[in-house]
């Protein structure tokens, strides 16, 4: 197996206004989340969130404590949320073994133990997407299925944003330190997510897009409400969203995305909304 990681530094919104396409993609887009028998991760300076993916095919993959953590185990001072967006797989955390199927999620609290990823079928490998944030105390591990999620139906087909928000690793479902994660599914004929756009200045966010057909793409919008920028993305890619940036997208096909937040506030509804007609 192989673990790849990189560090992404935080940007001031005044500086980000001058970024060209290449710089925006370099600083915010995570193009390679999955590669066979590798663990890929980005250590972001936005609330110290780590965004990554593990795709075990022929090997069992270890969640290694990368050098920036300066810790004996990845979860020594961290919590993690893991979503499976591939075939059925297993996550082992210490002596516990969790079977995770498609669109199911696992929360692991802080604490010294080895974590590994494994696929049940190499021909249909699991793809484990994860977000991890700092944790000041330990909460119990928990597997969460879609049936256990808090579901919010939002938008409309007329507005091209008919969507189902599955709140899965949130404080209404289980206790966490600061990590909050969920999955939004867009219905057939809908392409817009998170409209009207919003900010939440007390936490950052990461989006991971999947179920995007190979011949289609997602256009992700970011930046300050009066100074927006865009990123064209493919399926199985992620994007970092600073606390000063909106985060929304439209695509050429309906899709699903996983959102993950880290910061000082666990209130899902703590958002500052902006009228669609006020965006620039």
User: How many whole angstroms separate alpha carbon 20 and alpha carbon 109?
Assistant: 39
Task: Locate 174 and state its tokens.
Answer: 């289980």
Residue 50: what pLDDT?
Answer: 98
Determine how many CB atoms are found less than 10 A away from the CB of residue 70. 9
Residue 153: pLDDT band (50, 70, 90) is: very high
Q: How confident is residue 71, by pLDDT bands cut at 50, 70 and 90?
A: very high
**With 80 as the cut, is the pLDDT of residue 186 above it?**
yes
Share above pLDDT 90 across residues of the chain, in percent, rounded to a whole number: 90
The pLDDT of residue 272 is above 80? no
Average pLDDT over residues 181-193: 96
Contacts of 55 by beta carbon, 8 Å cutoff, 6+ apart? 34, 35, 36, 37, 38, 61, 86, 125, 126, 127, 128
- CA dist 125 and 107 (Å) reads 21
Which of 22-36, 161-175, 187-201 is predicted with the least confidence, judged by mean pLDDT? 187-201
Report the pLDDT value the prediction gives residue 271, as an integer from 0 to 100: 76
Mean pLDDT, all residues of the chain: 95
pLDDT tens-digit readout, 21-56: 999 999 999 999 999 999 999 999 999 999 999 999
Report the SS3 class of residue 233.
strand
Q: How many CB atoms lie within 10 A of CB 111?
A: 17
3-state class of 129 per DSSP? strand
pLDDT of residue 198: 81
Angle (CA) 104-7-28 rounded to 5° is: 70
In this predicted model, what pLDDT tens digit does every residue of 81-95 receive, in sequence order? 999 999 999 999 999
pLDDT of 66 reads 97
58-67, 140-149, 191-200, 241-250, range with the lowest pLDDT? 191-200
Q: Tokens 């087909």: give the residue.
A: 157
Dihedral sign, Cα of residue 23, residue 191, residue 205, residue 107: negative
Summarize the confidence of residues 14-23 as an average pLDDT: 96
Which residues does 197 contact at the CB level (< 8 Å), separation at least 6? 221, 225, 246, 247, 248, 273, 274, 276, 279
Instruction: Name, in order, each residue with C-beta under 8 angstroms of 23's C-beta and a sequence gap of 6 or more.
Output: none
- pLDDT of 97 higher than 80: yes
pLDDT of 199 > 90? The answer is no
Phi, psi angle pair for 109, to nearest 5°: -80, 170
pLDDT at residue 201 is higher than 90? no
- Tell me which residue of 156, 162, 87 sits closest to 128, measured CA to CA: 87
pLDDT over 80 (residue 273):
no
Distances (CA, A) of 280 to 29, 175, 214, 224: 21, 38, 30, 9
In the chain, domain spans: 2-136+145-278
The answer to whether 86 touches 258, Cβ cutoff 8 Å, is: no
DSSP 151-208: EEEE--TTTT--EEEEEEESTTTS--SS-EEEEEEEPTT---BS-S-EE-TTEEEEEE
Instruction: Read off the pLDDT of residues 251-267 as tens digits, 9 standing for 90 and up.
Output: 999 999 999 999 887 77
Look at the domain 2-136+145-278 and name its fold: Jelly Rolls (2.60.120)
Per-residue pLDDT, 258: 98
């Amino acid at each position: 197996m192989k673990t790849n990681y990189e560090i992404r530094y935080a940007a001031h919104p005044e500086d980000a206004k001058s970024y060209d396409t290449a710089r925006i993609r370099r600083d915010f887009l995570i193009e390679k989340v999955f590669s066979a028998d590798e663990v890929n991760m980005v250590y972001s300076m936005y609330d110290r969130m780590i965004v990554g993916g593990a795709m075990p095919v022929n090997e069992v993959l270890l969640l290694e404590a990368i050098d920036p953590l300066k810790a004996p185990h990845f979860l020594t001072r961290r919590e993690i949320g893991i979503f499976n967006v591939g075939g059925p797989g297993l996550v082992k955390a210490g002596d516990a073994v969790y079977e995770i199927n498609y669109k199911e999620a696992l929360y692991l609290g802080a604490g010294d133990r080895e974590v590994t990823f494994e696929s049940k079928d190499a021909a249909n490998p699991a793809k484990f997407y994860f977000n991890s944030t700092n944790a000041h105390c330990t909460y119990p591990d928990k597997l969460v299925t879609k049936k256990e999620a808090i579901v919010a139906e939002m938008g409309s087909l007329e507005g091209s944003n008919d969507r189902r928000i599955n709140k899965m690793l949130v404080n209404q479902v289980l206790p966490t330190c600061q990590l909050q994660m969920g999955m939004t599914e867009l219905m057939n004929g809908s392409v817009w997510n998170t409209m009207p756009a919003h900010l939440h200045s007390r936490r950052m966010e990461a989006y991971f897009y999947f179920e995007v057909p190979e011949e289609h793409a997602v256009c992700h919008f970011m930046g300050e409400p009066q100074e927006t920028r865009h990123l064209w993305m493919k399926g199985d890619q992620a994007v970092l969203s600073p606390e000063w940036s909106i985060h929304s997208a439209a695509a050429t096909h309906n899709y699903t995305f996983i959102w993950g937040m880290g910061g000082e506030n666990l209130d899902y509804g703590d958002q500052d909304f902006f009228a669609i007609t006020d965006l620039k």
